[in-house]
Amino acid sequence: MVAVMAKKVLVTEKLAEAGLDILRSKGYEVDVLLELDPEGLVDAIPAYDALIVRSATKVTREVIEAAANLRVIGRAGVGIDNVDVEAATERGVIVCNAPTSNIVSAAEQTMCLMLACARKTPQAVASMKDGKWERSKFSGTELFEKTLAIFGLGRVGGLVAERARAFGMNLIGYDPYCSPERAEQLGVELYDNVDDIVPLADFITVHLPKTKETIGMFGPAQYAAMKDGVILVNTARGGIYNIESLADFVAAGKIGGAAIDVYEAEPCTESPLHEFDNVILTPHLGASTKEAQTRAGIQIAEYVSAGLEGSIVPTAVNMALVPPEIMDAVGPYVPACQLMGSMLAQIDGDIPQYLKLTAAGSLAGADPSILVAGTLGGILSYKNVAVTPVNAEAVAKRHGIKVETQSRPDAQGYASAVSVVADGTEISCTLADTAQVPRIVSLFGYQIDIAPASQSLIFEYVDAPGKIGTIGTILGSAGINITTMQVGMKEKEKNALVYMNVEGDVDDAIMGKLREGLGELKNLWYVKL
């Protein structure tokens, strides 16, 4: 028997021990190499199945093309600017991040900087340490009843809105992707364009991604239209505020203060803003809390593990986004599809040329690529082929499998189900109870209802009295225990299907006795999951 090698994970930047422990507990071989230069990463990466980075490691096309075994790239944080996502997608490599890991820390950093800027706290601290007592010089302003404009009402922007509302601030916002219902829930009055909202704000904070539209979003025209004394905060992405023109408006006294935590080029040790006492500059500390780092490590470890196992990766940035309500329904079916794929591989013995997957009931309308990837992963598991939603289509083509998918609102009495037909062999599965255990509900057209165990025997024969007793006698004599069993019938054909979960290895000798003892036996399979 050929030993299965443990999958290898390379971590190139500091990751919380809790995350490393998760990976190791799942049986992965984890190497933490913190001093790799670009050439060293290219040399090392061919040996690894997964790569975990933070913001410093540049995962270039050269790195990805050298990574013969790479299946997943995990970014322990939010931004993926340092990963060539296009190159990864071309190679079928999942790129995922941990977008919720630091949202609380980033929101708190925003409030911290807003308060520090409004109350001139850093300047007062510096004055005190110089041995001075200058109370009148550092008179500030309250947040209470001031108007805060929030640009970007996603995860972080929403948390900032909740916290600012607790300070009694009036909230206005701009986000073309935010629904009126969400804005109302957050207590934010939504505006359709930047020019309308800019003149109304006493404070402005941005929580936007780095895109062509957002870089330089605030420049001379926007600064000129702002209220005198406005305070600006940025804990999102460098470059959203045009720094050169911002410095001009700070120098002129138009802008009362600014607090910047992120920069276009980092590390940033000099800029036009460095000379101003009323500008707070911090070295990208939004995610720098113990809690955020632990959360990032744990989340990315779970997502990378899911990718290596062929399961759904909810934060994959190079897959079609799946709405949360669909994700909740589809996600648990991925292991069920892997199970069905593995059974099909053992029943048929060959790679199918045709595969049809039907998502029924509440799964109708879900992205079928997630389910197809799980099924293909099961079918090809004995070949040690990693299948992900990113590369499922390419894997199918490479193995000569034509894949079709369809949806059906009727799940034949179940809330949801997935049916797979591979070269005419049919199997259907649903999920049962709160544990969402996969249950086979149809096999070869026989209606059954059973949760497969790690070892099963499947019999198909012409029905006659005494068959079950014969099976039980043969297995009992061999010390094989029957744990659960289901019988399905085909009335017109007088055939029966018996699906039997067993404990104890069934060797060739026992299989021979079963074939001999059952007489008109059409098929017999021993399935191990």
Q: Which of 71, 207, 237, 439 is catalytic?
A: 237
Q: Which two tokens stand for residue 315?
A: 């934060």
Rg (CA), the chain: 30
Query: Rounded to 5 degrees, what are φ and ψ at 404?
Result: -130, 150
Active site residue 266: yes
* C-alpha to C-alpha distance for 387 and 389, rounded to whole angstroms: 7
- Tell me if residue 274 is catalytic: no
Q: Is the dihedral of CA 212, 214, 219, 224 positive or negative?
A: positive
Token pair listed for 218: 């605030």
| CA distance linking residue 88 with residue 331, whole number of Å | 23
Cα distances (angstroms) measured from residue 297 to each of 21, 22, 289, 504: 10, 9, 12, 40
Helix (H, G, I), strand (E, B) or coil at 53: strand
H helix intervals, 120-236: 121-129, 155-166, 180-186, 194-197, 220-225
What is the rounded (10 degree) CA torsion for 236, 238, 241, 247? Answer: 130
Candidate list 134, 184, 266, 275, residue with the active-site label: 266
Helix and strand totals (H; E) in the chain:
18, 22
DSSP 51: E
Task: Please list, in sequence order, all residues whose beta carbon lies within 8 angstroms of the beta carbon of residue 57, skipping any fewer than 6 positions away.
Answer: 12, 13, 36, 41, 82
Counting every residue, how long is the chain?
A: 529
Establish whether 108 is a catalytic residue.
Answer: no
Contact (Cβ atoms closer than 8 angstroms) between residue 194 and residue 174: yes
313: left (phi over 0), alpha (psi -120 to 50) or beta: beta
Please pick, among 165, 284, 399, 408, the residue that the annotation labels catalytic: 284
Which residues carry out catalysis? 237, 266, 284
